[in-house]
Amino acid sequence: MLFLIKKNKLLISIFGVALVGNLAGSQQLAPVHGSGPAHNLQAVRKGAKVELVWKQRLQVADRSSGQRQPVLARICRTISPAPPATLDQSASCGESVGRVSLRKSRTQFANTAYEKKDTEITMRFTDRLPGDLQQSESLQFSVYEVEVVDDRGRTAGVSNRAPVLLTPTPAVKGLHSQLDSRGVYLIWEDEVESHPQGVEFDYRIARSEKGSTRPIVVPYLRAVVHLREGDRWTGVDTSLEWGKTYTYRVTPVARFRSLSGEVLSEVEGEESAPLEVTAHDVFPPAIPERLLALVGRASGKQFVDLVWAPNLDKDLAEYNVYRREAGGEMVRIHTGRPSSLSFQDTDVASGHTYLYCLSAVDAKGNESPKSAEVEAVVP
């Protein structure tokens, strides 16, 4: 009898340990009641790839609670000739183009889930578009949805819709550069023969300084020449700093606008190969203009006042004033600050005729050609 009691206590102890171990090991991630479907689905296309991102709310739940585990997210794609009238949830999912296992995603979020009891995770999937969809000449959209199912195959609902524009995004061909005093000229070609009505094509230029991995999108002046074999584009970056080395990348962009001009969808093509450009400043400033010479006299002394219009070059450093007499050579007689737009020549003599001209010099020492000569006759 004593043995049975002890045996029963032993059995109870073993059962208790097993029960505790079972409860501790039975916690799994499961959808929060009433909010199982994926939500906040977003789709971004770049070339042939469409990156999908959505949110899934999960919680820690015991199997005994009756809540089912989400085990699979089914990615659906529907081809439509127009963007959906509403981006709300639909009743059913379209053609399946991929699946994401939620069980595999569970482990990395387990610690957070145990602490918070419920959490919202970010899920991702990449869809690669078939070639025929990328080259469609008619206006089409690929509309994506995500359907989450539990371990019994029952659906938790369908996410919101996320459309992307299906239109060719031609590669940038023959990218090269030229430099002049206004900036860097980037020149390239494309092979766009036609595009769907309502779709506009453009290009985005990104620039990064040498040694930096953070490119910035730069505004640029553009010109397009339409040729039989395609378009020839020129983009001028006027915001660079001379003396620096930059890496440029050009990315094609297609936009679909509403009748009111609002951008409803935008997609990017594959960016060009990087192009390195060193902005050597070998370009002189503009020639100074409107130089005037005025002969004057004060306190018994004669002089010649020179005045001129400002030079608007950003890196202007100084002005040089030159003088000569008839039959002589020009000699520099003054160097002035860029903020000064006049000079008084007091080293003059009665009965002499003087010829003056002016040049501008930038911070790199590049000097402009000399201005037109002006004459001053000292009586």
- 24-39 pLDDT, tens digit per residue, is 333 334 443 444 688 8
Higher pLDDT, 176 or 109: 176
Same-domain pairing of 264 and 298: no
Query: What pLDDT is recorded for position 54?
Result: 93
DSSP letter for 232, please: E
Same-domain pairing of 305 and 325: yes
Query: What pLDDT is recorded for position 5?
Result: 41
Calculate the alpha carbon distances from 326 to 309, 329, 354, 369, 372 in Å. Answer: 25, 9, 7, 20, 15
Band the pLDDT of 68: cuts 50, 70, 90: low
pLDDT for 179 beyond 60: yes
Calculate the alpha carbon distances from 130 to 135, 147, 163 in Å. Answer: 9, 22, 16
CATH of residue 322: 2.60.40.10
Query: What pLDDT is recorded for position 87?
Result: 64
Same-domain pairing of 58 and 106: yes
Confirm if 30 and 117 have CB atoms less than 8 A apart. Answer: no
Torsion of CA 336, 337, 341, 342, to 10 degrees: -30
91 lies in which domain range? 30-166
| 8 occurs within a structural domain | no
User: 338: which 2 tokens?
Assistant: 């860029």
The arithmetic mean of pLDDT across residues 251-271, rounded, is 86
Same-domain pairing of 130 and 70: yes
Same-domain pairing of 128 and 104: yes
Query: What pLDDT is recorded for position 154?
Result: 80
Q: Write out pLDDT tens, residues 218-251.
A: 999 999 888 877 789 999 999 998 889 999 999 9
| 7 occurs within a structural domain | no
Same-domain pairing of 37 and 111: yes
Query: What pLDDT is recorded for position 67?
Result: 57
Same-domain pairing of 212 and 318: no
| 80 occurs within a structural domain | yes
Same-domain pairing of 68 and 159: yes
Total domains present in the chain:
3
Query: What pLDDT is recorded for position 190?
Result: 85
pLDDT for 211 beyond 70: yes
Same-domain pairing of 260 and 339: no
Higher pLDDT, 21 or 206: 206
Task: Output the pTM of the full model.
Answer: 0.68
pLDDT for 18 beyond 90: no
Torsion of CA 28, 33, 37, 42, to 10 degrees: -90
| 255 occurs within a structural domain | yes
Q: Write out pLDDT tens, residues 45-59.
A: 998 899 999 998 765
Cα 237 from Cα 185, distance rounded (Å): 7
Q: Write out pLDDT tens, residues 321-362.
A: 999 998 899 999 999 999 999 999 999 999 999 999 999 999
Element (H, E) at 61: strand 49-61
| 43 occurs within a structural domain | yes
Nearest to 167 by CA among 84, 48, 76, 41: 48
Query: What pLDDT is recorded for position 64?
Result: 53
